[in-house]
């Protein structure tokens, strides 16, 4: 079946504008993750959704960042009043479960965000 898809693939925005990034996980996957990857850095965990449970938002860097997942499927990451330091690649991943040590996370291609 189809993999994880993200849109847009690239986004250039002016400082202070709001942006929305979309993630379509693999059908049937209950877990969804958002990460941020800055140049030369490891992936930074942002937020985790699992089924109908309350999301783990502990990785969100500020209250300008928020995410939602509608109907247990599509997720949107919103960044308000963007700053230049928000420029990065935003990666979404999904997995069928998170129980057991060997679960797999399947990644989308990412959205490259550039704030000018």
What is the binding site for another protein (CB under 8 A)?
A: 4, 31, 33, 40-45, 48, 50, 56, 59, 91, 93, 98-105, 107-110
- Of 14 and 52, nearer to another protein (C-beta) is 52
User: Residue 111 has which token pair?
Assistant: 């959205």
Closest approach, Cβ 26 to another protein, in A, equals 12
- Of 48 and 65, nearer to another protein (C-beta) is 48
DSSP reduced 3-state for 70? helix
- Of 71 and 101, nearer to another protein (C-beta) is 101
Closest approach, Cβ 77 to another protein, in A, equals 15
Torsion (CA) 17, 20, 21, 27 in degrees, nearest 10: 180
- Of 86 and 110, nearer to another protein (C-beta) is 110
Give CB contacts under 8 A, 24+ apart, made by 43-47: 43/91, 46/77, 46/90, 47/77
User: Residue 19 has which token pair?
Assistant: 């942006």
**C-alpha 68: how far from chain center:** 10
Closest approach, Cβ 23 to another protein, in A, equals 11
Closest approach, Cβ 81 to another protein, in A, equals 27
What's the CA gap between 114 and 27, in Å, rounded? 29
């Amino acid at each position: 079946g189809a993999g994880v898809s993200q849109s847009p693939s690239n986004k250039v925005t002016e400082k202070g504008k709001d942006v929305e990034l979309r993630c379509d996980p693999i059908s049937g996957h209950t877990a969804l993750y958002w990460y941020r990857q800055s140049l030369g850095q490891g992936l930074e965990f942002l937020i985790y959704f699992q089924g109908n449970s309350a999301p783990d938002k502990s990785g969100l860097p500020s209250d300008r960042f928020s995410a939602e997942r509608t109907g247990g499927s599509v997720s949107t990451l919103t960044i308000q009043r963007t700053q230049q330091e928000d420029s990065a690649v935003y990666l979404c991943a999904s997995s069928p479960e998170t129980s057991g040590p060997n679960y797999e996370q399947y990644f989308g291609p990412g959205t490259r965000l550039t704030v000018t």
